[in-house]
Chain A
């Protein structure tokens, strides 16, 4: 009998798959435990770290990774990296966006090149590659994931991405086979990752003088990615505090009315 999607094959087969990977010593290490300033009920993002993180994203990650849900105006929005509107405009203008059809209805020039125009605040970050096939072609068959939601889309969140970015360069255990064209990273499921080590000492040079160690670069870019995933975190924490204060006061008053009303009946 042929089933479109036999659930047992799905459930059992997949778990057998992970068991087999574990036998190959491919089970991922638990992520490092990092203390992020955005953790906890009053957590916020550090503006300087966000701006450095944006620099790392722009100069390193965006060569391969998209961030298609984030717009340039977000860079100047409250709770974000804290660029001024003029700075965000300048950043946007530095990107070449695929242009809309011109007055002849063309999107290619006479030589067949795609027409472009400078980005504006309303634009989203342009894709790194024209399409998925081109992205896979340039990355040994692997598709670099979009980073707009990456922190929320991975178990372990910022700790996981930080561990992954700082987890390169370790010696594989004896007998572990690193596949051709892949890199050993013990925090990645299966431990064979297609992404080459993205961050080196000095990959970027921070304008504020922060030493560009791999750890500093990773902290900065993970903070930036966390903001991209959850741009309203600061507002959420602030409104949450006000709502809680109101609700606790309300509950106190309701408790007193409840006791007052019931005092002769109990």
Chain B
């Protein structure tokens, strides 16, 4: 679908440049004339929104780094005393950056579930999906490192809990896990050395993310966008040029997203935060509850659902690595869930399952639901939720692909056939 370039340099200078560095041609072909399915809906605007989020985080983060001091004795006051009080508009930049992380994850979750629903991971887009999973993992690592930097109580204890996960590997090979943990810390406990390397990595990884975003978009421009019908583009009647059609649509939905973003920054800047992180890190005082940021809660619930530490850690990593195999786990020829009645239901159960796991992850380990006379311990809900998560990808995806009878697919994007009968095409 990338097709032949239609770029014609208009001036002598652009002709000169085009023969040496065809960057204007690249921009013209990928951002102007690029043929894009005409039926992309609102959920397809989140790719652009995510690029915006990355830009906001990098720009605000670079400014914060000018004022931040990566030292265990000074970090907290450089943030809470310096940036939040002394630096001009430091409070604004800091709240943009901290809420920006949450908005970034909100957007990436919508983007990922959109990809799952419309089968955007299927041939020929497997590599786009895998690069996306890599981006998600890089984002989680970056967010984790960043959360440690203000050196509040939750920063410190979150870092301690997450890095201590690796000590579970002691159960496989004696001392292996402890060695990894000590190596990660750069010390025998989370401390100044840990903070310094986390700062360094927190500054580095966003540029790695930007590079993988480049690959992700490059790979996208080979087959072009999938679309809500999940059928291939048959010809020019199925597409519109990216500009002005999708630039205008993306810009409008981006502005709505920014309104939501600004709502949090200006009117509820600590909505996603934890009060404990406004107390300076203290290795001698453990907070009553160690809770990660909301975007990690489903995985935290899975970890705590397993009573054996090593298996819990393996389940946690397994849940993430599973995402890499999705392109080959789904056996259906049909991409979009619009034409997959059974898969559609399983998809929505998965979405609810992730919300449920997130809720359980936010509660105490001994919490229980009161169901009239019966008490349902949340840990059992977490176990059920974890089981469904894995079953969805490793059992339901392959099996439903074989047994499901998809609805009739439309002939083309331009002439959608609104067939509701279950006839196979």
B148 to chain A, nearest CB (A): 15
Contact with B along A156-190 (1 / 0, CB 8 A): 01000000000000000000000000000000010
Q: Is the CB of B366 within 8 A of A7?
A: no
Interface assignment of A200: CB less than 8 Å from any CB of chain B: no
With A3-B170, A236-B92: A244-B259 Cβ-Cβ less than 8 Å: yes
Q: Is the CB of A41 within 8 A of B267?
A: yes
Interface residues in A, total, Cβ within 8 A:
52
Interface assignment of A207: CB less than 8 Å from any CB of chain B: no
Interface of B is mostly: helix
Q: Is the CB of B161 within 8 A of A232?
A: no
Residues of B within 8 A of A244 (CB): 259, 262-263, 266
Residues of B within 8 A of A261 (CB): 244-245, 248
Q: Is the CB of A4 within 8 A of B262?
A: no
Residues of A within 8 A of B167 (CB): 3-5
Residues of A within 8 A of B84 (CB): 232
Interface residues in B, total, Cβ within 8 A:
52
Within B248-302, which residues are at the interface with A (CB < 8 Å)?
Answer: 248-249, 251-252, 255-256, 258-259, 262-263, 265-267, 269-270, 275-276, 278-279, 286, 288-290
User: How far is it, in angstroms, between the C-alpha of A256 and the C-alpha of B269 when the chains are bound?
Assistant: 31
Q: Is the CB of B279 within 8 A of A254?
A: no
Interface assignment of B304: CB less than 8 Å from any CB of chain A: yes
Residues of A within 8 A of B267 (CB): 41, 237, 240
Q: Is the CB of A148 within 8 A of B80?
A: yes
Which among A6, A149, A251 is the interface contact of B278 at CB below 8 angstroms?
Answer: A149
Interface assignment of A34: CB less than 8 Å from any CB of chain B: no
Interface assignment of A99: CB less than 8 Å from any CB of chain B: no
By a beta-carbon cutoff of 8 Å, the part of chain A in contact with chain B is: 1, 3-8, 10-12, 14-19, 41, 68-71, 74, 145, 148-149, 152-155, 157, 189, 229, 231-232, 236-237, 239-241, 243-244, 247-248, 250-251, 254-255, 257-258, 261-262, 265
By a beta-carbon cutoff of 8 Å, the part of chain B in contact with chain A is: 38, 77, 80-81, 84-85, 91-92, 95, 160-161, 164-165, 167, 170-171, 178, 181, 188-189, 240, 244-245, 248-249, 251-252, 255-256, 258-259, 262-263, 265-267, 269-270, 275-276, 278-279, 286, 288-290, 304, 307, 309, 364-366
Q: Can you identify 7 A-B contacts, CB atoms within 8 angstroms?
A: A4-B181, A14-B286, A69-B85, A153-B278, A157-B275, A247-B259, A254-B248
